[in-house]
Structure 1
Amino acid sequence: MERIYASYWLETGDDPARAAEVIAGEQSSGTFVALATETPELKERSGARVERINILGHSKEPSLPGGMRSERYTQCELELSWPLENTGASLPNLMSTIAGNLFELRQVSGLRLTGLKLPKAFADAYPGPAFGIEGTRRLTGVERGPLIGTIIKPSIGLSVEETVQQVRELVAGGIDFIKDDELQADGGRCPFDERVRAVMRVINEHAERTGKKVMMAFNLTGDLDEMRRRHDLIVAEGGTCAMAVLNSIGLVGLRELRRHAQVPIHAHRAGWGYLTRSPQLGWDYAPWQQLWRLAGADHMHVNGLSNKFSEPDESVVAAARSVLAPVIEGADMVSTMPVFSSGQTGLQAADTYAAIGCADLIHTAGGGIFGHPQGVSAGVEALREAWVAAMEGVPLAQHAKGNKALQAALGFWK
């Protein structure tokens, strides 16, 4: 029988083996009291199984408030498994099983989902991304190196014409990728329909003149019907990307958008911090991104090195590597493209390239481009040249001697 495997970091004031059995029961056939209907045969067939417990250490205080009091709390690695029959190849029901009521059990004083191994049935049920890395490169014409990108800033408050002016400068400057901020969807000052039509006029005219069509990720986040209609407008106007905020639309929203979409889906992870910031609660990125990639995300945000947020570099690198790894071993599925953002400049290029071993990514810089003292075009050129240096293994300062835009950028990239 095919099984689903999930691994956790667990802290408990109870005996770890007993706590593990409580979790397994809660997330399958058991409850807080023994029931006659949970026969040995039913439990054998449908119950979650404790596969492994590895004790890591002990503490005198619990990581999380509430729950049972104890003189000693034990931290351990826990692996559980469930028969595929319990959920079927269903992402929403998988979510309820691996990340449902187990977090609030009184035996649990800390719990974090750290790994997930899914049977091939999920790859058969969910096609994953339609475009991914290869399709994105084809649409943008960027055959080698990262896509150099940026975000419209300020995030909110610009008019349509002010947004168009930024896009005009960016496409003239040679940018590959532009995105709406996650806060900008269909606000009264910059309505979605008007913004799409006006921005695409600029992008299409530039493409006609130069042969280069910039990819713009319009934020269509909304209700299902709204997203379908907004997607259709993007396509009708010649757009090549749609952006959605994952935690806002949910797995079903992304799955339905994927069914409808004719362009890559740029998946934003806004809200990720509340799922991960406490090391004793929530998710690691690796299992979380598996669900969204199966649901159809072509691009996924992973933060960036030396970012403006609280996430350390090792976590960002692990996230990017997980996005580039297979979703399910042995499954033939298109690869998702990681997106680096958050306080990025060319200073992070070499370390990013070294950390993930490739340039199959989108590197977005806002201030790192718009703040260039010689203008937006020079900002785009400087970031691109920083990546040339990274991929050729040339120190940034040395490479900058032959490029004025990069040399000037080093003076304000701090």
Structure 2
Amino acid sequence: TNMFTSIVGNVFGFKALRALRLEDLRIPTAYIKTFQGPPHGIQVERDKLNKYGRPLLGCTIKPKLGLSAKNYGRAVYECLRGGLDFTKDDENVNSQPFMRWRDRFLFCAEALYKAQAETGEIKGHYLNATAGTCEEMIKRAVFARELGVPIVMHDYLTGGFTANTSLAHYCRDNGLLLHIHRAMHAVIDRQKNHGMHFRVLAKALRLSGGDHIHAGTVVGKLEGEREITLGFVDLLRDDFIEKDRSRGIYFTQDWVSLPGVLPVASGGIHV
């Protein structure tokens, strides 16, 4: 929070500037060491799931809005039983009159355990804990932990970095994985001449904490530039990244053993 207050806080509002864009920054190692980072990281997640040597496969439950909690849980079960590792709440699914969050959590947990019992695999569903206050967000994460599910989800830009860091600390202390959705990122990073590139937001997320984040894709409806996308995928996963301007990496970055974040291919991939 303070990093962005200092670097992009006032300067973007200067009258003398028509437009300004932050493409990249190098975070000093001494500053990185003040952060806890991802609750668990890639290796610990694979250990928890007992799944190695392949990508993890998941999907978002559609229609994103309108299903009752019971029918939503049924869709989760069918997807997991059919072979997926994870299913996911859409970022728009929160706590609406047709499906309150507590009911959804209960039916999704039931679906999860049924699919696990029938397949012998560890499964997960990203339960959206994003809420209007930090207290309510933590309350939802506590309920998810009490149900025994492995993972919760948070919209880190709409929820804010402070809330996200609090949730990441809770997840680390209580053995929950944390999936991060990047809803609202295009407001900040889509314009080529103004705003902030997503690689900066990705670096900030690795500091704040999250085990997965949507990182765009090189195919599908949400296509990004291939080399640039692969560049910030490396920034999320690797411990040390050399400068490579052709991939949009303008500074060498040393993460001093901060756990890696699993990049998630974004939506719109038609197989």
With the length of structure 1 as denominator, give the TM-score of the two structures.
Answer: 0.59
Which gives a bigger RCO, structure 1 or 2 (Cα 8 Å, sep 6+)?
Answer: 2
Counterpart position of 2:43: 134
Q: Is the 8 A contact 2:39 2:169 kept in 1?
A: no
Q: Is the 8 A contact 2:220 2:270 kept in 1?
A: no
Counterpart position of 1:332: 257
Candidates 288, 306, 313, aligned match of 2:201: 288
Residue identity opposite 2:261 in structure 1: T
Counterpart position of 2:167: 257
Indicate the SS of the match to 2:24.
strand
Indicate the SS of the match to 1:184.
coil
Residue identity opposite 1:129 in structure 2: P
Distance 2:195 2:9 in 1: 11
1:308-319 correspondence to structure 2 within 5 Å: 308-309=221-222, 311-319=224-232
- Deviation for aligned residue 1:175: 0.6
Distance 2:83 2:50 in 1: 12
Indicate the SS of the match to 2:218.
coil
For the pair 1:120 / 2:33, whether they are aligned, the reply is: no
Candidates 103, 121, 131, aligned match of 1:212: 121
Q: Is the 8 A contact 2:58 2:86 kept in 1?
A: yes
Identity of aligned residues (%): 25
Counterpart position of 2:7: 98
Judged with a 3 Å threshold, the aligned counterparts in structure 2 of structure 1 residues 330 and 95 are, in CA distance, closer, same or farther, namely closer
- When Rg is computed on C-alpha atoms for both structures, the one with the higher figure is 1
Residue identity opposite 2:67 in structure 1: L
Unaligned residue ranges in structure 2 (runs of 5+): 241-252
Distance 1:183 1:121 in 2: 37
Counterpart position of 2:145: 235
Counterpart position of 1:60: none
Distance 2:109 2:26 in 1: 41
Indicate the SS of the match to 2:18.
strand
- Deviation for aligned residue 1:314: 4.0
Q: Is the 8 A contact 2:181 2:213 kept in 1?
A: yes
Residue identity opposite 1:295 in structure 2: S
Bigger proportion of residues as strand:
1
Once the two structures are superposed, residues 13-62 of structure 1 have per-residue CA deviations (whole angstroms, 9 ceiling, x without a partner) of xxxxxxxxxxxxxxxxxxxxxxxxxxxxxxxxxxxxxxxxxxxxxxxxxx
Judged with a 3 Å threshold, the aligned counterparts in structure 2 of structure 1 residues 227 and 165 are, in CA distance, closer, same or farther, namely same
Bigger shift: 246-255 or 119-128? Answer: 119-128
Distance 1:107 1:324 in 2: 38
Once the two structures are superposed, residues 218-276 of structure 1 have per-residue CA deviations (whole angstroms, 9 ceiling, x without a partner) of 11101111111111111111111110001111110011111211311111101111111
Residue identity opposite 1:291 in structure 2: A
Counterpart position of 2:183: 270
Indicate the SS of the match to 1:230.
helix
Unaligned residue ranges in structure 1 (runs of 5+): 1-91, 347-414
Q: Aligned pairs, how many? A: 255
Q: Is the 8 A contact 1:204 1:238 kept in 2?
A: no
- Deviation for aligned residue 1:207: 1.9
Q: Is the 8 A contact 2:59 2:86 kept in 1?
A: yes
Distance 1:314 1:109 in 2: 29
Candidates 57, 71, 89, aligned match of 1:162: 71
Indicate the SS of the match to 1:266.
strand
Candidates 45, 58, 61, aligned match of 1:152: 61
Judged with a 3 Å threshold, the aligned counterparts in structure 2 of structure 1 residues 310 and 341 are, in CA distance, closer, same or farther, namely closer
With the length of structure 2 as denominator, give the TM-score of the two structures.
Answer: 0.88
Judged with a 3 Å threshold, the aligned counterparts in structure 2 of structure 1 residues 330 and 228 are, in CA distance, closer, same or farther, namely closer
